[in-house]
Amino acid sequence: MAKDYYATLGVRRDASQEEIKKAYRRLARELHPDVNPDPATQERFKEITAAYEVLSDPQKRQMHDMGGDPFGGAGGGAGFGAGFPFSDIMDAFFGTASASRGPRSRARRGRNATIRVELDLAESGFGTTRELVVDTAILCEVCQGSGAAAGTHPDTCDMCHGRGEVSQVTRSFLGQVMTSRPCPQCGGFGSVIRHPCQECSGDGRVRTRRTIKVRIPAGVEDGTHIQLAGEGEVGPGGGPPGDLFLEIVERPHPTFERRGDDLHCTVSIPMTAAALGTSLTMETLDGPEQIDVRPGTQSGQVIPLYARGVQRLNETGRGDLLIHVNVETPLKLDPEQEELLRKLSQLRGEERPPGKFAPGQQGFFSRLKDAFNGR
């Protein structure tokens, strides 16, 4: 009696190829000799393998349905037939995607591109618009991405017959198995361009220089990357373009140092102005600003100008401008200036001012006295 390969795999007679493949993978994981070395199990494994070899091949399946011998008397259940796809066993154990087999498309996504954009502090802080010149690959207008010359088209590969892969039968401990690899003649595409487009040399794209207008948002800083989707290179074979990334490079400012959204600068004033107070005019990113220095201002004190920093990226509001005061002590005095300072020191009783130390600190003589007293 002829074998019922549908019953062997446990599928209906009208089962689809995907259902047959799933049934085989499930049984192969259970019955493979490496998993279950029992002789009866090994014989069962050969049976399901022969059944899958028949039902996965449309011609052999049709012969089986008509009651014929799909192996032509070659003893199909004794081992793997010459046409058995070994990769399906690998799929059963390692989950290899069977959809990856077959011809691959010539159209592939293009590469991403990155260009550097230098900005001044005001441009990065408040935003700007730039026209950028980009050298990139665009779709070939002559062949529209096909790569073939006008009036021609790619021909089916005569080595793989359009499958994109070639098979080779080898012997292993499992018997005769078939392995597949990309076709060396067509590169796995399944077709060959015998008359390539002269404009793009069969690549489906050409290089050109184009100008794009880009809006730089307010608040970007040095190292920020801006993604422009679809503005990169067109892919081979007329594939979709990649993305263009703008890398922001912020030029140093002669006055301000940026720290996040805040700006910092240092203003040096003489000690008399720090003691008596004064007013200064400073050029900020918003224009001239009047700054009041209060009497008694110390060196290192910070004067804030709120909301005078840069715009916060993708948010409302701005950072602050922080002015660090540096009080300058004169290095040289003429006799008149020295006399005036001496009179001031006498009036303030500061001819020999006592030293002031921070908590936990002592002068040299105090430390020496403590040493003799055994402290």
Total domain count, the chain: 3
- Claim to verify: residue 41 and residue 144 sit in the same structural domain: no
In this prediction, residue 368 carries a pLDDT of 45
Residues 150 and 234 in one domain: yes
Angle ∠(92,95,97) on CA atoms, nearest 5? 110
Q: Are residues 223 and 119 in the same domain?
A: yes
Same domain, 125 and 214: yes
Between 122 and 2, the higher pLDDT residue: 122
Return all residues near 88 (Cβ < 8 A) that are at least 6 apart: 21, 24, 25, 52, 56, 98
Minimum mean pLDDT range among 33-37, 231-235, 243-247, 319-323: 33-37
On whether both 294 and 242 belong to a single domain, the answer is no
Q: How many CA atoms lie within 13 A of 294 on its CB side?
A: 7
- Structure confidence at residue 353 (pLDDT): 63
Radius of gyration of the chain (CA): 41
Residue 183 lies in a domain: no
Q: With beta carbons less than 8 A apart as the criterion, state whether 203 and 147 touch.
A: yes
Q: How confident is the model at residue 345 (pLDDT cuts 50, 70, 90)?
A: confident
The pLDDT value given to residue 66? 76
177 to 53, 72, 79, 89, 90: CA distances (angstroms): 11, 18, 9, 10, 12
* Whether residue 181 has pLDDT greater than 90: no
CATH code for position 224: 2.60.260.20
What is the domain extent for residue 48? 5-100
Is residue 265's pLDDT more than 90?
Answer: yes
**Does 27 share its domain with 96?**
yes
Same domain, 242 and 281: no
Q: What is the pLDDT of residue 42?
A: 78
The percent of residues above 90 in pLDDT, for the chain, comes to: 48
Q: What's the average model confidence in pLDDT over 163-191?
A: 79
Q: Dump pLDDT digits (tens) for 44-102.
A: 888 888 889 889 888 888 888 877 777 764 444 444 444 445 455 555 444 444 444 56
How far is residue 183 from each of residues 7, 9, 14, 104, measured CA to CA in Å? Answer: 36, 32, 33, 11
Domain annotation covers residue 212: yes
Question: Looking at 233, 250, 267, which one is the last position of a domain?
Answer: 250
Q: Are residues 128 and 208 in the same domain?
A: yes
| Domain membership flag for residue 286 | yes
**pTM attached to this predicted model:** 0.60
Q: Which two tokens stand for residue 314?
A: 């993708």
Pairing of strands 244-250, 113-119: parallel
Q: Quick one: pLDDT at residue 98?
A: 42
**Interatomic CA distance for residues 153 and 194, integer angstroms:** 8
CATH no. for residue 50? 1.10.287.110
